[in-house]
Amino acid sequence: MIVLAALAMAAACPQGLCNATALRPYLAKLAAARGRDGRPVHILQIGDSHTAGDAISGAWRDLLQTRYGSGGRGVLPPGRPYDGYITHGVTVTASSGWDVAADFGRASADPKPLGLSAYSLTAYAPGATMALDAEPQERFDRVVVCALSRPGAGSIVIRAGEKIERVALNSPTDRPECETVKLGAPAQHVDLATEDGPVTITSWATFLDNGGVALSNLGVVGSQLIHFSRTDDMVLAEELRAYQPDLIVIAFGTNEGFSPRFAGFDYEILLRSQIARMRRLAGNVPILLLGAPDALSRRPDLKANGAGDASACSDNLPPLTPPPAPVATEGTGFAATMAKIGQFLGVTATGEASNAGPATTGPSSATSYAPMPSNAPPPGKLALFPPPALDAVREVQARVATSLHTGFWDWQYRMGGRCTALRWVRAAPPLMRGDYVHYTSAGGREIAQRLQADLDAAAAK
């Protein structure tokens, strides 16, 4: 049954992209490389650690901006919401004095309203600051800061280029507010500081209004779509009004597929409701749903977390090159965070620590293979296998995308199918990290190129 379903999907989506007609408004704008009123074409992606790490979305951004021109860095979570936070193309700094709220993890206990970034930062004393310095290709002439207005709230002073603007957030009612600052000339630095009472910021953004493309990656490490559902409708609506995306990309599914138990019926209700919610709040903006990628585990409790094939990956693989020496799993930064996630997923073991690999190699044509043992597990460990719930997640995603007329990209199929993660980790250079879930810089470029190639093929029809 699973084989037949996979064959049917391959036949329906020969380039891995289903329901491409749903994306025509976005593809038409991209062809002109111009959004509304000279603004850039804006892609807004929400998701989990694949999105947060920006290996794929960052490579996709680079590809599009090289082709069409840069429209700025786009939307970011405020400040530095967690250790190891990555901001390709810009450097973000923040002072002490900020309290973090999130839709998932330890910071999720804070009940503050959340928006698209799924984070907020609150300063209770004046003088807290955050700043953004853009690399030349991500310079900007429009800054947007989204915050919460409420009784007794303080103010924000925004400085960018020659502009200094003060935004008072004291209001008789609780409401979200996004302030837009237009600059007279492109700039590379913006900072803000708090004054007076408490200030809560939900997101901020930098854009260049000269056509081109901006791609915003808003991801939370370890999160699922159900966590995004905890965000606030009023905040989302105000941010969507201010940021005006031309394409919304929904990239959840991996963590759902690694849940100890997966309830397909409940997930389908959730997915349908969140797509309907985004349409209600964003208007008629095309949506592209990224299917869950291939990923592997050794955890015994995931062997039966869903209906489907739970067999170990076959040893009948092409010759492979040993991966580089593993990096330490301790320390700080995003790589250490990925290593800890790998341990939780049950894949990281001796010789399998998360490794970023070389960052300068291009697509798969440069990937080589050499002899090495394939799927021999470490002592006391299971051989690697894809949790069967991942298949169930993809099946729901494809069905809902067809039913609700959203684009659907079959990520696993475009990787090469079941157990492809084993090959990607052990390729030379490595295309995935040693947790068999996350991607190296080279792998991120490969996925971005395959996704854009499928979108290009759809645009050419």
Q: Are 379 and 261 in contact (CB under 8 A)?
A: no
Which two tokens mark 240?
Answer: 């969507």
DSSP per position, 310-358:
-PPPPS-----PPPPPPPPS-SSSHHHHHHHHHHHHT---TT-------
**Cα distances (angstroms) measured from residue 200 to each of 120, 138, 140, 282:** 7, 26, 24, 23
How does residue 105 score in pLDDT terms, banded at 50, 70 and 90? confident
Torsion 416-45-248-305 (CA) sign: positive
Strand-strand pairing, 407-409 and 98-102: unpaired
Q: Is the pLDDT of residue 109 over 80?
A: no
pLDDT tens digits along 34-64: 655 689 999 999 999 999 999 999 999 999 9
The helices-and-strands tally (H runs, E runs) of the chain is 13, 17
d(CA 407, CA 167): 39
pLDDT tens digits along 166-217: 999 999 999 999 999 999 999 999 999 999 989 999 999 999 999 999 999 9
The residue among 443, 301, 434, 300 whose CA lies nearest residue 364 is 443
Query: Which CATH number covers residue 220?
Result: 3.40.50.1110
Q: Are 18 and 398 in contact (CB under 8 A)?
A: yes
Q: Which domain holds residue 98?
A: 89-208
Which two tokens mark 331?
Answer: 């320390």
DSSP designation for 321: P
Residue 54 shares a structural domain with residue 180: no
Query: Which CATH number covers residue 126?
Result: 2.60.120.260
Neighbours of 392 (CB within 10 A): 23
Which two tokens mark 241?
Answer: 């009004």
Q: How many domains does the chain have?
A: 2
Alpha helix stretches (DSSP H) within 348-407: 389-404
d(CA 267, CA 278): 16
How does residue 367 score in pLDDT terms, banded at 50, 70 and 90? low
**Cα distances (angstroms) measured from residue 297 to each of 215, 316, 387, 422:** 31, 18, 7, 11
Residue 237 shares a structural domain with residue 202: no
Residue 239 shares a structural domain with residue 346: yes
Residue 187 shares a structural domain with residue 220: no
What does pLDDT average to over the chain? 86
DSSP designation for 179: E
Under 8 Å CB-to-CB from 266, ≥6 apart: which residues?
Answer: none
Under 8 Å CB-to-CB from 416, ≥6 apart: which residues?
Answer: 294, 423
Strand order in the sheet with 287-290: 17-18, 407-409, 287-290, 247-251, 41-47, 213-219
Which of residues 189, 208, 227 is at a domain's end? Answer: 208
Residue 410 shares a structural domain with residue 312: yes
Average pLDDT over residues 79-95: 96
Helix (H/G/I), strand (E/B), else coil: 302? helix
